[in-house]
Structure 1
Amino acid sequence: MHPIQLRQSIREMLNEDIGAGDITTESLVEANHRSSAVLLAKQSGVIAGLPIVALVFQELDPHLEFQAQVAEGQKVEAYQTIAVLSGSTRAILTAERVALNLLQRMSGIATLTRQLVDQLEGLDCRVLDTRKTTPGLRQFEKYAVRTGGGTNHRFGLSHGVMLKDNHIAFAGSLENAVKKVHKRVGHMVQIEVEADTLEQVQEALSLPIHALLLDNMDVETLRKAVKMIDGKVWTEASGGITPDTIRSIAETGVNAVSVGYLTHSATALDISLDFVEEGIENHA
């Protein structure tokens, strides 16, 4: 994400939460009061988003010091300190919820992604995300996938052609759909076609495409499809992929597996912010 875009996104998130002002904090804390606090992992997982979280706090206090205690993408254990910050108490309290929401969400996605990537150790197969992201958070969630060791699929509708069943039905046939797309897009744009059956795979291979999404095929059908394709186009398996099935699906020889629940169903990692100054403790 470009720095300007990143800061704009952070400001929008803070504005949503703060509105006309943090009336609780401003009523209780003097404007010049300073504090130190720690970000503490309450469970094991992979940390993602520390540089972004630092910017959240620094948006309200440009002089706030943020010291990460772990590397981005590092796996941590429960009750491990992941960052130490020092600055305006008002800024820390006011930015806390936005910062934690982002850090917990992104770390949860990175943790789940790492679990699936580890399942494919030794195989030449990537774990892909999808566009099934939270509106407004796609850049952050896809960053978390990369931090967890996964690979990003297209970021948006303008980043590549994906011909699904509804597109093909509207065009009248797959051949018509591919022809119409080629008239519209340049040679640099990749075209991927969704196929549910071996017959659709065979038809797609006769057309000028770059990739095939093999959707909801069982392992045996996937294996036959990969053999039929024989490296002519890039292959991606999707649908019915779980931690228990992902390795057997990858072993069919597909280039990648795409997993929507990386972003739409990941559980947030439990992380807290605790003040360490005397008199201000265990703020969550």
Structure 2
Amino acid sequence: MSKVDILEAWQAHLADGRRRSPHTVRAYLAAANRLLQATGLGNFNDVAKLDGPALRRQLAARRAEGLSNASAARELSALKGFVSFARSQVGEDATPPRLRGPRLKKGLPRPVTPDEAVNVADLVAGTANEAWTGARDRAVLLLMYGAGLRIAEALSLKGGDLPLGDTLAVTGKGGKQRVVPLISIIRAAVADYVEKCPWPIEREQPLFRGQKGGTLSQGMVQKAMARARIALGLPSTATPHALRHSFATHLLSAGADLRSLQELLGHASLGSTQIYTKVDAATLLDTYRSAHPREKKPSG
């Protein structure tokens, strides 16, 4: 097996087996390619023998190139996953090498990518025990990602909010009301759930119902997303609330101003919204370091 064969197998595993987003597949494939170039290895047996110190040396070389803590953590995750995959290919225990990554500053939201958000919602729907609960959870998650709702706000919707139009009046923290736009995919997802729901959707009753017809709990949505997160290989930060963070970050990246974003999120203070400027800047810098030709080592 050549190096090309190894990388193709790794790419197929990420894209088809783990259903990672195209962006993640590219990043993890590049990390594996750099490791193979640095070590000169060309088969899974040798890759499977790599240990913690070997990966630490590779990571140190990358850090010397100016890699940020966040990018270094992602690089390490890719390398550990690659070695784990190699071990599974040669019939060994697929446990990855034990190695701690760099410490990351806490405080900034950790959004998911658009592909990851949609993949999570679709996987939740496709793996549910019943079609109606899958449609329900998908609709809730898309309300959080596509309209920026908090989970409690989504679950507080009632039958009287139907039929959904182009906008939705939401009551947030402190009883503050705001109006959010609803794109067609959200309206379609809610309509699909309503059609499949075995319980009558009454005006004063919760829109999203639990298995026995009561109010759907936040814990059920969180568990559904946790299962999808694990299946897709996403980090533990990929929670339902991360979908709201993604809504904010992606709007800011697309040119939304802070005041408008504050209104859409229902923040009482602009300071709460300003944190997303740091998230967007961090994402931009990470993209720059990944794409700028002076940040790349010559291939060969």
TM-score bucket of the superposed structures, by smaller chain: under 0.3
Higher share of residues assigned helix:
2
For CA contacts below 8 A with separation 6 or more, give which structure has more relative contact order. Answer: 1
Q: Which has the larger radius of gyration?
A: 1
Higher share of residues assigned strand:
1
TM-score of the superposed pair, with normalisation by structure 1: 0.28
TM-score of the superposed pair, with normalisation by structure 2: 0.27
